[in-house]
A and B are shown apart, each in its own frame.
Chain A
């Protein structure tokens, strides 16, 4: 984007007391100091990125024992998760489906609400009101997940039971509602950023054609900002799929695939909840622990997949000239 700037780096200003041409020594010194600075920055970046990436390696290494020793087909295709039985059965299909199920359901609640809220913040209210309202969204992000968990178990679950006559209140609906609340701040702030970044020209052009605000937003603003909005949705999805404590408390953790598929009132279990719930008690070198790490690898692959999807959309948006 701005690599061409390198040539300007050492260009002196017009009123500078320094001579216009540098001596070879100064030139070399400048070159070396820039190189050194770059090296230091590179080292810092490298080490922090490395520390972050090491965890991927860590998860993969810890799962190798399980993945090489037992049947991956069973892991991916069986619905029986009985890690402490004799012999143990590690079938994660129902749990994988549960993870995706809850996250998608959360998005169904969160995306419309998130986009509406983002539009409200960027296009409808004044700057002053926005500064008051936006912190509300950020407070939602600041509530620790333990607190959401309490809310899910002690308030939402009994309420759902009473209000809708469900036999159990800790179910897919409960978990996805809470996940939706937790994903909303991410979705709203990313979507709002991309919507406000569009600039006034587009909107003014649309208004000057006689379009109402609704038409401007639906036909002009949102299509123009769609790459950012898709990125927001994917980020929200990743937040939902990686969330642990809340799902563990709210989803009921029954390793089953809901039947019929749209029945949100049934309990489901997610990968993260299984890992969090069972990691503490599983013996260090057991197959069970390996299986839990293998679930971690699966989660990594899922988020990787989602990343690729979002990258694809962003790249396409760029190519189409949606972003300058």
Chain B
């Protein structure tokens, strides 16, 4: 043959290649699981802010009330300055709010006059006067010319000494006029609308918008937002940093060359505002951690809590419970049925045509998409079998487990069959020769010898049952519902929950830790359940090998 050296080299290369294949597999596993575990674990381990502790106190009743109150007082102290700066700025720019305020004062004054039973003549005169003041002020608010504003405000302030207005609510007109004049002197009036929009965006980021939570949460005294998630600021420091970044910087896509793709440019948001508001940005940047108090948090209750607002807050307790229930009930069907069927097919059935057709049919099922199993489960178990047995025909855990059992039975039967078949005939013959019955032989000899292979089947079907989504979509999974009381209730599960988060709502983008947390918990759950089987298998193997 060829010389020994080349053969040795080739052999080494081959060994290295096979080792490389395993290294590659491990790398793939790390590449898939690594980021997922990293993000998922941050659902439990993270830097929780004071908002997180507020949320925990209000929604789940956890935490020390006194300590929390002290903390809230401390942070509120610092936040007050943010509110003041924004309010001061808005006095100059938020035209609509100012106009509304003026109209409110006008209405209030009219009510006051009616309450005091002022004579009709004087009433008409004063109404006339205040209406003029109101209109003058509104003109001033909407004007972009500082001289026009000064003129209008001066005309309004002329009435400040009017004895009929002294000591009434109409005095607020003058306070407002003076404030506005002062604020208007500091900003570029032609940018009124631009500023108003920009300050609204800032308020959205800091407090909350219609649909997104903000950095600090709603201002004190504000009516509660419609969704619970909008009632708190950034509960996690990583979230807070994202929001802070968005607060400090504006992303702009700029065209550098015509006909080329735009380029991302970042510029400080402060530049969108006049000098008077710029200190706000430096203040928030410097004091963000003091306003939020990030602290290392282990939120282990993630594993038992119910979720709030489609998994924005809270945990995955009911999902874990549902997954375990479905898996356990499903395995109760799969393991005995699979082993018995496999034993029968190997030991009792003749190896003729029927067997072949059955095996072919079972193997063919691998090509049926899992969603079809779901429709089948609905049609057969829920709508046909349940009424026939006297149960209420509604999707529930039992139906879901049975459907999943049908899905995995072929895997289980096939694996057990292979395992039982590969037990050497000499074992069985020995046992039978000793006078044991066939049943006894199977239980005492064949089954233990086949156990490692059967456990592989258990591992494969268990993973499938716990992880499948489509078959339970119609037979027992819900995205929102009570914790199940019995196997006749529908349930939430981890697999369906993570699928639901991925396709339904935009929330998943805001709380990737919860989404990944769910997937990682599912993987861990499967691994823990499998771990037992793997350990068992190794032990049995050792015994069989005589180590």
Contacts and interface: CB of A to CB of B under 8 A. Distances in A.
Direct contact of A and B (CB under 8 A): yes
Given A49-B358, A299-B367, A146 B499 contact: yes
A3 interface: yes
A146 B502 contact: yes
Given A41-B344, A55-B365, A239-B366, A212 B502 contact: no
B432 A142 contact: no
- Range class of the A interface residue count: 35 or more
Interface in B29-59: 29, 31-33, 35-36
Contacts of A141: 459-460, 463
Interface string A285-315: 0000000010010011011100110010000
Interface in A34-60: 34, 37-38, 41-42, 44-45, 48-49, 51-56, 58-59
Interface of B: 7-8, 10-11, 14-15, 17-22, 24-26, 28-29, 31-33, 35-36, 337-338, 340-341, 343-351, 356, 358, 360-373, 375-376, 379-380, 406, 409-410, 413, 418, 421-422, 425, 428-429, 432-435, 437-439, 453, 456, 459-460, 463, 466-470, 473, 495, 498-499, 502, 519, 522-523, 526-527, 530, 534, 538, 545, 547
Given A11-B432, A117-B22, A124-B19, 8 more contacts: A34-B437, A56-B364, A58-B376, A143-B33, A145-B468, A245-B469, A245-B470, A299-B368
Interface stretch (A21-29, A73-81, A131-139, A165-173): A131-139
A150 B519 contact: yes
A13 B434 contact: yes
A145 B435 CA distance: 49
Contact of B467 (A1, A145, A242, A275): A145
A213 B409 contact: no
B540 to A, nearest CB: 12
A16 B435 CA distance: 9
Query: DSSP class of A's interface residues: helix, strand, loop or mixed?
Result: helix
A1 B351 contact: yes
Contacts of A1: 346, 351, 421, 425
Instruction: Name, among B7, B20, B470, the residue most crowded by chain A CB atoms within 10 Å (CB to CB).
Output: B470
Interface of A: 1-3, 5-6, 8-14, 16, 34, 37-38, 41-42, 44-45, 48-49, 51-56, 58-59, 62, 113, 116-117, 119-121, 124, 127, 131, 133, 135-151, 155, 181, 184, 189, 193, 197, 212-215, 217, 235, 238-239, 241-242, 244-245, 271-272, 275-276, 279-280, 293, 296, 299-300, 302-304, 307-308, 311
B340 A44 contact: yes
A315 B338 CA distance: 25
A181 B21 CA distance: 12
B31 to A, nearest CB: 8
Contacts of A59: 368, 372, 376
A139 B17 contact: no
A3 B350 contact: yes
Nearest to A247: B369
Contact of B11 (A56, A212, A276): A212
6 contacts: A12-B435, A59-B376, A116-B20, A136-B29, A147-B519, A155-B35
B432 A44 contact: no
A39 to B, nearest CB: 10
Contacts of A299: 367-369
A52 B437 contact: no
Contacts of A116: 17-18, 20-21
A213 to B, nearest CB: 5
Given A2-B347, A9-B437, A300-B367, A146 B341 contact: no
A143 B421 CA distance: 29
B232 to A, nearest CB: 27
Contacts of A197: 422
B368 A143 contact: no
A11 B435 contact: yes
A144 B522 CA distance: 8
Contacts of B519: 144, 146-147, 150
Instruction: Name, among B345, B366, B434, B469, the residue most crowded by chain A CB atoms within 10 Å (CB to CB).
Output: B366
A41 B348 contact: yes
B483 to A, nearest CB: 22
A230 to B, nearest CB: 14
A313 to B, nearest CB: 14
Contacts of A242: 366-369
A136 B26 contact: yes
Given A52-B409, A146-B499, A150-B519, A275 B371 contact: yes
Nearest to B533: A138
A63 to B, nearest CB: 11
Closest 8 CB pairs of A and B: A303-B367, A144-B467, A13-B435, A120-B18, A116-B21, A238-B366, A45-B344, A272-B369
